[in-house]
Amino acid sequence: MALEIVETIAGLRARVAARRSAGLVGLVPTMGALHEGHASLIRQARAECSSVVVSIFVNPIQFDRPEDLERYPRSLDVDAALCASLGVDLVFAPTVAEMYPVSLECRVEVGRLADHLCGRFRPGHFSGVATVVLKLFEIVQQDRAYFGEKDAQQLAVVRRLVSDFNVATTIVGVPTVRESDGLALSSRNQRLDPDERQLASALYHALQRVKSAIAAGVSNVSELKQLAATQIPPDPRLRLEYFEIVDPVDFQPVDAVTGPVVAAGALWVGTTRLIDNMRCVPGES
C-alpha cells in the first residue's frame, strides 16, 4: 500500500485500528527535517513491526525560545518522500490546532531527570516533550516506539514516562548516527554555515577523549571535565554550555566514575545549539 499522510487524530486512529490485526504497530515520533538518523529509527521499526507510523509535528510547547521554534526547519514534502522510500505506512502530520485545540490545563511534570543537562538550561523543555509524547502514545496506541540515543536525556524521560504511567508500549533506543568526522546527525546541523560545520565536531572529540580516559581508569570528574574543555578550540563562535558526567539511569551527576556513566555536552556553534553524549565504561574501550 502507498504511504498515507494523515492530519487528523480521528483519521490516524481509524487507519491504525484497521492495521492492528496484521501485527505490531511501530511509532517513530519526529519533528520532521528528517535525516539518516531518523532513517535508522524507521528501518528498525520497519524490520520489527507490521505497520510503521511516523509522526511529524514541530511541538511548540517544548521550545524555550520563540526564535528557535520559528527557525526550526520544516520540509513535509521531502520528509514524506523519504518515509515512502523506507516503507512507512502512515505519516501523522497534525497541525498545532489539531494537537492543542484549546489551551493546555494539564501537562506532564518531569522531576529529577530534568534537573541537569538540557533540563537545567531549557526550563520546561522536558515537560513539553513528555506531554506531547504521552499525547502521541494515546493517539497511536503503538506496540513499540523508537527514539534515538543521541537525545539520551529525552530517552530516559520517555522510558520513565512509560513506567510511571503504565503505558503499554516498548521503548526502543537506536544508536546515534554520525558523520565521517563524528558529528551526530541532527536537524539543527542544517543551520551551520561551512565554517561552523568544520568546528561542530569538537563536541564529539571531547566526548571521545573523555571516553578513552575513563576506559583507561581516570575517575576524577573534575579532571575529566577539564579534559573535555581542552578539546574545544578557542574560537569565539564556540561556547560549551555544559559538559557533565551523569548516572545512566537517573541522569544525576556523579562524584567519581566507579561504573558505567554517560558523558554529555551541549555546544553552541554560532547561533546553533548542538548536543551529544556517549556511554563510558571503566576498562572498556
Is it the case that residue 1 has pLDDT exceeding 80? Answer: no
pLDDT tens profile 122-180: 999 999 999 999 999 999 999 999 999 999 999 999 999 999 999 999 999 999 999 99
Q: Which of 38, 116, 125, 205 is catalytic?
A: 38
Angle at 176 (CA atoms; ends 174, 177), nearest 5 degrees:
115
Distance of CA 151 to the CA centre of its chain: 4
Q: Check if the beta carbon of residue 28 is closer than 8 Å to that of residue 54.
A: yes
- Over residues 32-56, the mean pLDDT reads 98
Q: Structural domains in the chain?
A: 4-174 (3.40.50.620), 187-280 (3.30.1300.10)
Smallest CA-to-CA distance from 240 within 207, 217, 214, 218 is with: 207
**What count of Cα atoms within 13 Å lies in the side-chain half-sphere of residue 264?**
20
Grid coordinates 576524577 are at which residue? 220
- The 10s digit of each residue's pLDDT in 225-261 is 999 999 999 999 999 999 999 999 999 999 999 999 9
Dihedral angle sign, alpha carbons of residues 18, 173, 265, 121 = positive
Which residues fall within 8 angstroms of residue 67, CB to CB, at 6 or more apart?
Answer: none
Task: Kindly report the average pLDDT of the chain as a whole number.
Answer: 97
Percent of the chain past pLDDT 70, that is, above it, reads 100
| Average pLDDT for 9-35 | 97
Is 205 marked active-site? Answer: no
Residue 16 identity (one-letter amino acid) = V
DSSP 8-state assignment for residue 269: E
Could you tell me the pTM of the whole model?
0.96
